[in-house]
Amino acid sequence: MLYFLPAFLRGSLSLLLLILNTLFWFSLLFPCALIKLLPIPALQAFLTRVMIRIAESWIRCNSGWMRLAGRTQWDVQGHEQLDHDGWYLVSSNHQSWVDILVLQHNLNRRMPMLKFFLKQELIWVPVIGICWWALDFPFMKRYSKAYLAKHPEKAGQDLLATQRACEKFKTTPVAVFNFLEGTRLTPEKHAEQNSPYRHLLRPKSGGIAFVLDAMGEQLRSLVDITIHYPDGSPTFWDLLSGRIRKVVMRCETRPIPAEFLGKDYQNDAAFRAEFQAWVNGLWEEKDALLAQLHRDYPPQT
């Protein structure tokens, strides 16, 4: 609706709407988070549902300014079979910070709100860090191999932290999200990794293996998402200013093999190799799909 304005004005207005939208819903979320600190399980469960609705409303309003700013064409398939009351493990390829808003825009209220694993330091991000904490987003502190060599007593703490975080997900439907590549795809990272995939970085399987170990009884389906931007990976400013012409997204719901549930990824070498082979197979299929999408949806000339 506002695409007649110059891109700079559209982007500035979108940024203002994003900030105002965040502050408004934060003003409703924060009191609920404080009350939720009371050790009353029934009240905590009720407030969790209320805060999820608040977050879904925030996402819906973000979709509003995205529609105002531009005329993005959405080509999305496979999300019709998702259940808002289901329990899912979700993963996607990762090209841009725009990916998160693309996922939220297309999946909001079609499935449970996506819960990301976040670095512990991100809890200090103004306003949004408190929102993540209030919504039970799991904060993780990962230890490097060098650190563990000096402090072997910390070994296994990652898994324990994952298990504690996932305990909060056992009473409310959830979609636990993980970017398997761990970082955004860039030509430099692709070359540095010597990735065997044409359109992807190497996947890291440890994170989702830990989640399956902690929540295997509930997470029986993997929602495998593939995102393609025909005109190249957009920046966040491209989204704000409405300059993304088309987004292609494919969702495939896959069963998680029962033999992968409740296994020790860290200490069972045979299982780790089997699980990595499964993840690599998924990535080979995704790379082939992306190659097909590049052919079917070329850049606009």
Residues 200-227 as b or e (16 or more Cβ within 10 Å = b): bbbbbbbbbbbbbbbbbebbbbbbbbbb
pLDDT at 167 (0 to 100): 75
The domain total for the chain is 1
- CATH number of domain containing 155: 3.40.1130
pLDDT at 109 (0 to 100): 96
More confident residue, 153 or 297: 297
Q: Which of 2-6, 74-78, 270-274 has the lowest mean pLDDT?
A: 2-6
Cα–Cα dist 243/73, whole Å = 11
Q: Is residue 118 scored above 70 in pLDDT?
A: yes
Rounded average pLDDT over 245-272: 91
Q: Has residue 29 been placed in a domain?
A: no
Q: Has residue 165 been placed in a domain?
A: yes
Q: Has residue 30 been placed in a domain?
A: no
Q: Has residue 200 been placed in a domain?
A: yes
Q: Has residue 116 been placed in a domain?
A: yes
DSSP string, 14-83: HHHHHHHHHHHHHHHHHHHHHHHTSS-HHHHHHHHHHHHHHHHHHHHHHHHHHHHH---EEEEES-TT--
Provide the residue range defining the domain that includes 287: 74-296
Q: Which of 119-123, 187-191, 256-260, 279-283 has the lowest mean pLDDT?
A: 119-123
